[in-house]
Structure 1
Amino acid sequence: MAELQALLFDVDGTLSDTERDGHRIAFNMAFEEAGLDWDWSESLYGELLAVTGGKERIRFYLEKFNTAFQKPDDYDQFVKDLHAAKTKFYTQLMGEGKIPLRTGVERLINEARETGMRMAVVTTTTPENVTALLTNTLGPDSESWFEVIAAGDIVPAKKPAPDIYDWALEQMNLKPEQAIAFEDSYNGILSSAGANLRTIVTINEYTKNDDFSQAELVLNHMGEPDEPFEVLSGDAKGKTYLDLDLVKMIAEV
């Protein structure tokens, strides 16, 4: 039995409900600034989440949902510029405190930090988005709490490919059995499970109907002592909120 050495956190939907109330809003702000009449509703955005990565999501939208749009000659730069504007607006929303951490996240991260547990961020979102979320929720020095920030285009193949988790484990010199992943989506669990990582899932409105059969534990959120989680799948060992003790019991089976 390998001893747990590291917690690997996805960002969007896992640490914070950033997709609906952050990224979607920021995309629409970028579209408006660019003079585009595009509007990504909550339901449409749920369909766009089938694809990971912001630039990839814009391309997917134009290929499947807005096929009449006349793509400019410098299409690649057009997509890149739109995504850069979206990142700017996302950071702005973060700075305004519009996107808080999900229930139980700050408590678990602080407990891990206080006990010397190693931590990493493993996500398809950009490094700028990671910095914006961490600094505006956990504090200006919180990015340094994470040994590795595996984000954005650091590997060519994004989730659901396991590459980003494989890269993070390699950087930390860890075997999969020495770490555990935290995810919220089907693409996420495919990625973490593909890297042979045990995974704890906290669902959100967009992912509540996803297939999480490969997860060790599926919860509605991480919970607090006065706000118990709901166990959707797996064994919570009689616990009512996700603390480091429960994480270790799941990881060190």
Structure 2
Amino acid sequence: MLAALIWDVDGTLAETERDGHRVAFNESFESFGLPWRWDVARYTELLRITGGRERLLHDLAMQPAAPTDTDERARLAAALHTEKNRRYAQIARRGAIPLRPGVLRLMREATTAGVRLAIASTTSRSNLEALFELQFGAGWREHFATVVCGEDAPLRKPDPQVYRRCLEGLDLDPEDTLAIEDSPNGLAAATAAGVPVLVTRSLAFASHPFDGALAVCDDLDHPAAPSPRLCGTSPARVDLAQLREWHAAWWRQRAAA
């Protein structure tokens, strides 16, 4: 039985990567007097690496103007990342990063039906709070049964640590949950924890096939294609009733395999 929806944040709830983190990184580079700027194409490439600081270190290793000493480069990355988080919070709090289509609708449907909401994200708690305080209000925490952030699960996706800790917080088995993700690393992390995944492709992964997902859509208000193994139809939009149907069919097939 579907008892909880587990949501990723960056790219899933909102296009935070393109419209928030990338912009904040570029502002930070400029404030430090550095010549680097990440356009959408370059940042999309970097999104293959999970985690802002990890992404930054990867890029700095290829920048001729970056420090060659490993420790010095790490200190620069840490300082840039701290400044990026500060600027990201400013961007989020001024409403520049709206929720993606259908997110609030599906959350409300789930809450009304008694299906709990949870967060499994490796973004920092400060980044999450900046976005959630504006979108869900000061009492945002009461809407979620458990919230797992980067500080709680330091191993980045595709490692399943964040999902395993989320399941512990919910006190549920994977069979009772369904994850909503936008990226290949997110899909891999949830799948490794035994949680089936609905993918709502973010702009960064618009053409990725997402083999192994329960269903794939461009956003929750557009048609979704279920896994070929489910042999279902493509609904006009993703609602809770459809998720329950797919979820039940997914586990029936697993039991029969």
Report the alpha carbon displacement of residue 239 of structure 1 after superposing the two structures with TM.
Answer: 2.9
Q: What is the TM-score normalised by the length of structure 2? A: 0.90
- Number of the residue aligned with 1:243: 239
Q: Which of 214, 227, 230 is 2:223 aligned to?
A: 230
Report the alpha carbon displacement of residue 204 of structure 1 after superposing the two structures with TM.
Answer: 2.1
Q: CA RMSD in A?
A: 1.7
Q: What is the TM-score normalised by the length of structure 1? A: 0.91
Deviation digits for residues 139-194 of structure 1, max 9, x if unmatched? Answer: 22123211211111322321011111011101211110000000011111011111
Deviation digits for residues 190-233 of structure 1, max 9, x if unmatched? Answer: 1111111111001122112224111010001000xxxxx13345
1:170 aligns with 2:163: no
Q: Which residue type is aligned with residue 158 of structure 2? A: P
Report the alpha carbon displacement of residue 116 of structure 1 after superposing the two structures with TM.
Answer: 2.4
Q: Which of 199, 223, 237 is 2:197 aligned to?
A: 199
With over 3 angstroms needed to count, the CA separation of the structure-2 counterparts of 1:39 and 1:179, relative to structure 1, is same
Q: What residue ranges of structure 2 are gaps of 5+ in the alignment?
A: 250-257
Report the alpha carbon displacement of residue 98 of structure 1 after superposing the two structures with TM.
Answer: 0.5
**Is this contact kept in 2: 1:182–1:199, CA < 8 A?**
yes
- Number of the residue aligned with 2:141: 143
- Number of the residue aligned with 1:91: 89
**Is this contact kept in 2: 1:131–1:143, CA < 8 A?**
no
1:66 aligns with 2:59: no
- Number of the residue aligned with 2:254: none
Residues in 1 aligned to 2:209 and 2:233: alpha-carbon distance in whole angstroms: 22
| SS at structure 2 position matched to 1:221 | coil
Fraction of identical pairs, as percent: 36
Q: What residue ranges of structure 1 are gaps of 5+ in the alignment?
A: 224-228
Residues in 1 aligned to 2:226 and 2:116: alpha-carbon distance in whole angstroms: 26
1:252 aligns with 2:236: no
Q: Matches of residues 1-253 of structure 1 in structure 2 within 5 Å?
A: 3-63=1-61, 65-71=62-68, 73-223=71-221, 229-234=222-227, 237=233, 239-253=235-249
Residues in 2 aligned to 1:213 and 1:14: alpha-carbon distance in whole angstroms: 18
